Amino acid sequence: MSCMAAGVDDQDFNGRWDIAVNGGEARARAWWLEVTGAGTPGLKGKFVGTPGGQVDDIPRISISGGELRFVFERRYQRDQRGLHRGMYWARLEDGKLKGTFEIAGDPSSYLEWTGMRAPALPEKDDPSLKKGDPVTLFDGHDLSAWLAPSRMGWSIKDASLANSAGAVNLVSEKKFWNFVLFADFRVGQRGIGGIGLRGRYKIQIADDYDRPPSLNVTGAVHGRIAPLVNAARPAGEWQNFEIRLVGRQVSVTLNNVKVIEKQTIEGLTAIATDANEAEPGPIVLQGDRGPVEFRHVVVFPLTRPR
């Protein structure tokens, strides 16, 4: 009887979890975890979190005594040499994962985190959705639509918004739920950037016009959904996005080519600023990974007629 009860308890770890990280990060961060096969010999996990930018299969994961444990061997800090063991632990308390993280041998790296079950967000895109009034986030003149603490490293030149080395990510003051976003962008040589939808799902921007479609090329939902084709242009040329997000369903048009159509985003990407997937969130412009410029950034909220 006790073995059966333990098996049922282990199964409670199964599912997708949005994780809020408490302290210790250079910016607000959220992680994501998926556990499958708990309570069976087929236990597996996937993870999005420090310091990676992709969805990683967890190489070592176990459940024992009501505690979930998993480990990654990574370089966790830019100034570190070699790989270090990152250890994650969690228990279930009141339907939430209560967890900790620590780099082996480095007590100063200790973090606490809380995982909440990810919401289903079953809403689908359809023709009944109507565009509302446009919300202009950048019109070539000022940064008033963006949170003041996030403006560091950004400037306006020739009516475009450009980052400098080490710029922080721009975060819009307004938050959005369902919407269509239009933006022009230009990426420099070897540059990487992105647009965060609701502050949680990154649409990739990179100097990669000559690469095959992948989870990391321009137009991808970074680490999650590859574009049908790579429709990017060479570095230094202006390009354009039309991005439509309804619930978890996303469509992306890059340079007038539909590269993603009504695909489901399964969970957070590494750009995520919070774990509250069921709530509206900001638009984020990534500027910490190389030269990138934006202009004409406009959002049209989508609503259904009552």
Domain limits, the chain: 2-117, 130-303
Contacts of 93 (CB under 8 A, 6+ apart): none
| Predicted local confidence at residue 80, as pLDDT | 62
Q: What is the pTM of this model?
A: 0.92
pLDDT digits (tens, 9 = 90+) for 72-81: 998 887 666 7
| Predicted local confidence at residue 7, as pLDDT | 43
| Predicted local confidence at residue 118, as pLDDT | 98
| Predicted local confidence at residue 27, as pLDDT | 54
| Predicted local confidence at residue 1, as pLDDT | 34
Judge whether 2-117 and 130-303 match in fold.
Answer: no
Could you say which architecture CATH assigns to the domain 130-303?
Sandwich (2.60)
Contact 114, 97 (CB under 8 A): yes
Per-residue pLDDT of the chain (306 residues), as tens digits, is 334 444 448 999 999 999 999 865 445 689 999 999 999 999 999 999 977 778 999 999 999 999 999 999 988 876 667 788 999 999 999 999 999 999 999 999 999 999 999 999 999 999 999 999 999 999 999 999 999 877 889 999 999 999 988 788 999 999 999 999 999 999 999 999 999 999 999 999 999 999 999 999 999 999 999 999 999 999 999 999 999 999 999 999 999 999 999 999 999 999 998 999 999 999 999 987 789 999 999 999 999 987
Indicate the CATH number of 2-117 among 2.60.120, 2.40.128, 3.90.930, 1.10.3470: 2.40.128
DSSP secondary structure, the chain, as one string: -HHHHHHHHHHTT-EEEEEEEES-SSS--EEEEEEESTTSTT-EEEEE-TT-SS-EE-SEEEEETTEEEEEEEE--STT--S-EEEEEEEEEETTEEEEEEEETTEEEEEEEEEEEEPP-------TT-EE---EEEE-SS--TTB-GGG-TTEEEETTEEEE-TTPPPEEEEEEESSEEEEEEEEE-TT-EEEEEETTTEEEEEES-TTSPP-TTSTTSBTTTB--SS-----TTS-EEEEEEEETTEEEEEETTEEEEEEEE--S--TT-S-S-TTS-EEEEEE-SSS-EEEEEEEEEEEE---
| Predicted local confidence at residue 4, as pLDDT | 40
